[in-house]
Structure 1
Amino acid sequence: QGSGKTTTIGKLCKYLQRKGFSPAVVCTDTWRPAAYEQLKQLTEDMQIQLYGDPDNKDALDLAEKGLKHFKNQKVIIFDTAGRHKNEEDLIEEMNKLDKIIEPDESILVIDGTIGQQAGEQAKAFSHATDIGSIIISKLDGTAKGGGALSAVAETGAPIKFIGTGERIDEFEAFDPERFISRLLGMGDIRSLIEKAEEVIDEDVATKTMNNMLSGKFTLMDMQNQFEMMNSMGPMQQVMNMIPGLGGKIPKEASQMTEDKINEFKIIMSSMTEEEMLNPKIIKTSRITRIARGSGVDENSVKELLRYYNNTKKAMKGIGRRGMGGGAMNRIMGQFMK
């Protein structure tokens, strides 16, 4: 109860979509107000089929009808009512649902912020029904998250996934070695590479990098760079995956960096294609027009142009001498000011 179960279903669906599956969802949660509406919004955004009836308060009937509705579907996820270990009626309902659905796997969603108490919840449910696996939500790498992991592990049920943030894509298969590495601030370069492979267009990335290193870098390239950075997830999460940076960049600084990138993207959306490909032509009158069009002051436009010129200069130097920490620190430092 209160573990972010419905949101986790949306995240699991997104994960399965990325792996080539087409999951369907059945809502049998008749206890929580607006449970169906929340699922409907989540599934519509991802173009996932949903079966439910907010006027039907019989969870067992909904499960039977959902099974018939999706009889040809390979992957069906049933959203059941959240329940506390002391709610005997709901525990009994869960057992009846288990007999009707005959699931390949029953997944328990546990809130990672409750720390060691997660173990008590998991044990109580493991006595009531067979838990196939566990998903721990709201796990941001804090000490409480570590406590929840160790406590749940004692039940013997495998932890399959963890939710690492609020966004729908902040969800990943659980790997103990990687999690501990991030928890200790040692980074997780393997996850970073895998995430990049999932979300980044290789051709666009290669072209952008070649332009950066050769000195042909344009604002269009920088816009592509920002889009790739955003698709990787929140800045703080990405930084925590980089060895040597994990835990060292304050949350406020990474948030400021993210806000600045979003402001730069808005400014660039007010530029013409000619200006994006040839920033040298952006002088006083164009700066005024761009500032008005993007709803910012002229200093913000000038700041973007300074960042662009400094990045172009730094990356051209890297192209000649190879990657150096000093150049990269100067680029990142511009966002932290």
Structure 2
Amino acid sequence: SGKTTTIGKLCRYLQKKGFNPAVVCTDTWRPAAYEQLRQLTEEMDVPLYGDPNNKDALDLAEKGLKEFKNRKVIIFDTAGRHKEESDLIAEMDQLDDIINPTEAILVIDGTIGQQAGEQARAFSQATDIGSIIITKLDGSAKGGGAMSAVAETGAPIKFIGTGERIDDFELFDPERFISRLLGMGDIKSLIEKAEENIDEDIAEKTMNNMLKGKFTLVDMKNQFEMMNKMGPMQQVLNMIPGMGNKISKEASKMTEDKIELYKIMMSSMTQEEMENPKIIKQSRVQRIARGAGVEESEVKDLLKYYNNTKKTMKGIGKRGGRLGGGAMNRMMGQFMK
């Protein structure tokens, strides 16, 4: 179900809200459970308690409580369990007595569809489920099936995982999810993502330069960095009404790969070249290609894309800053050539 990864995502979400969570690993069943959690929590500077040599989940829970007794938020990672595993279901009941959690959260894999309902009902009989997190939701029909099945338990769906990245995690909003499912976009989420991940001053300066025709490779690199922070391209396009179904996942992936290649090439340029791309003639193209480990033709592709983007954005500036779907499609199309 992606339970351990979800703990990392929940920690990141809580950190953004100003909390300092700690994590206790009581999963003694899955090999390398502690190691995976250790790597995740270290990356986010989140304290972790666990002992891979201790196979007593109840003992680990008691010691973890003592270790973090002064923490306001402690997340306990328990072993994943199937409704048929009576021993593990019983263990969960005992852990519930020891931890006395403010909220027990069930993590469900969104790709299992209607089967999610059986799993959720089995757990609700063993413990009071405070809320549910559904992972691997990308707007698929199976995701909708999992949601309708889980809803029968009466436990609210609190969060959904929408991708592989640590930030692909959000509060569940039924209207937004249904809107994305129907291909109608989700402007509210798009605005929130932009507010969370984009530096407003850099974005405004870049956009002003673009619309005035003063667009440089520095601006283009800033634009690429902002796009990366927003998340996977297909996910962002799905939030734009009418765009999600126009560009395939394969085309989006191709675009992301090309952007990464362009960023590598720009890293091989001097500041002067980045600020004034007109000076990049053949000898400079050769040097940039060698430094980036690419063909000279690929550097020329980058410069062609830059010039076309500059021309397109200058034209938009003359029309009062309106970016129509045709202009967006043309810009995407340049990446896919």
Q: Same fold by TM-score, threshold 0.5 exceeded?
A: yes
Deviations 1:8-58 (A, max 9, x none): 101111111111111110000011111000000000111111011111111
Rounded Cα–Cα distance in structure 2 between residues aligned with 1:331 and 1:113: 33
Residue of structure 2 equivalent to 1:329: 329
Rounded Cα–Cα distance in structure 2 between residues aligned with 1:98 and 1:258: 44
Rounded Cα–Cα distance in structure 1 between residues aligned with 2:323 and 2:135: 38
Q: Does residue 1:195 correspond to 2:193, yes or no? A: yes
- Among 135, 138, 151, the alignment partner of 2:136 is 138
The alignment partner of 1:103 has SS state of coil
The alignment partner of 1:81 has SS state of coil
The alignment partner of 2:176 has SS state of helix
Residue of structure 2 equivalent to 1:275: 273
For residue 225 of structure 1, report the CA deviation from its aligned partner.
0.4
Residue of structure 2 equivalent to 1:249: 247
Deviations 1:175-227 (A, max 9, x none): 11000100110000100000010011111111111111111111011000000
- Among 162, 179, 182, the alignment partner of 2:180 is 182
- Note the 1:77-156 alignment, pairs <5 A: 77-156=75-154
TM-score calculated relative to the size of structure 1: 0.98
**What RMSD in Å do the two structures reach over aligned CA positions?**
0.9
Residue of structure 1 equivalent to 2:64: 66
Rounded Cα–Cα distance in structure 1 between residues aligned with 2:210 and 2:159: 37
Identity of aligned residues (%): 82
The aligned amino acid for 1:145 is G
Runs of 4+ displaced beyond 4 Å: none
Residue of structure 2 equivalent to 1:260: 258
Deviations 1:258-286 (A, max 9, x none): 01101100100100111001101000000
- Number of matched residues? 335
For residue 320 of structure 1, report the CA deviation from its aligned partner.
1.3
The alignment partner of 2:120 has SS state of helix
Residue of structure 2 equivalent to 1:217: 215
For residue 336 of structure 1, report the CA deviation from its aligned partner.
2.5
Structure 1 unpaired stretches of 5+: none
Deviations 1:237-296 (A, max 9, x none): 000000111233111000001011011001001001110011010000000000010011
For residue 87 of structure 1, report the CA deviation from its aligned partner.
0.9
Structure 2 unpaired stretches of 5+: none
- Note the 1:22-37 alignment, pairs <5 A: 22-37=20-35
The aligned amino acid for 2:72 is K
For residue 117 of structure 1, report the CA deviation from its aligned partner.
0.3
Residue of structure 1 equivalent to 2:230: 232
For residue 112 of structure 1, report the CA deviation from its aligned partner.
0.5
For residue 128 of structure 1, report the CA deviation from its aligned partner.
1.1
The alignment partner of 1:296 has SS state of coil
Rounded Cα–Cα distance in structure 1 between residues aligned with 2:147 and 2:336: 33
